[in-house]
């Protein structure tokens, strides 16, 4: 009983989605292959969790590489911030 709309957004146009709408279903924004896709489905069909997917594929590490920037946002390298021993 929810209206569905499809629109093509040209460059420079923003989209605003209210939390009342987000609470009604699944919302995703992807940029696979250089193509940005906004997608919404109600009612919710499944959980989408990229972290869980990447962990399952063995492509997610809890610990950043030593020369990567620290995820705390300090701007320091991980090895000189929270990765210091
Ligand atoms: Zn840090």
pLDDT in tens, the chain (85 residues): 566 666 676 777 676 677 777 788 898 888 889 998 888 888 999 998 888 888 888 777 667 777 888 878 899 998 898 888 7
Encoded tokens for 82: 């929270």
Taking alpha carbons only, the member of 70, 68, 65, 66 closest to residue 81 is: 70
The pLDDT score that the predictor gives to residue 76 is 92
Q: How far is the CA of 81 from the centre of ligand 1 (A)?
A: 4
Q: How far is the CA of 80 from the centre of ligand 1 (A)?
A: 8
Query: Are 48 and 28 a contacting pair, CB within 8 Å?
Result: yes
Q: How far is the CA of 61 from the centre of ligand 1 (A)?
A: 16
The pLDDT score that the predictor gives to residue 34 is 92
Taking alpha carbons only, the member of 21, 29, 26, 30 closest to residue 3 is: 21
Q: How far is the CA of 53 from the centre of ligand 1 (A)?
A: 25
The pLDDT score that the predictor gives to residue 5 is 66
CA–CA separation, 49 vs 43, rounded Å? 17
């Amino acid at each position: 009983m929810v209206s569905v709309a499809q629109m093509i957004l040209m460059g420079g146009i923003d989209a605003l989605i209210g939390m009342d709408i987000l609470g009604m279903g699944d919302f995703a924004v992807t940029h696979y292959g250089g193509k940005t896709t906004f997608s919404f489905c109600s009612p919710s069909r499944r959980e989408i969790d990229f972290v869980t997917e990447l962990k399952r594929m063995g492509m997610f590490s809890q610990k950043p590489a030593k020369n990567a920037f620290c995820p705390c946002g300090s701007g320091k390298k991980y090895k000189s911030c929270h990765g210091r021993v």
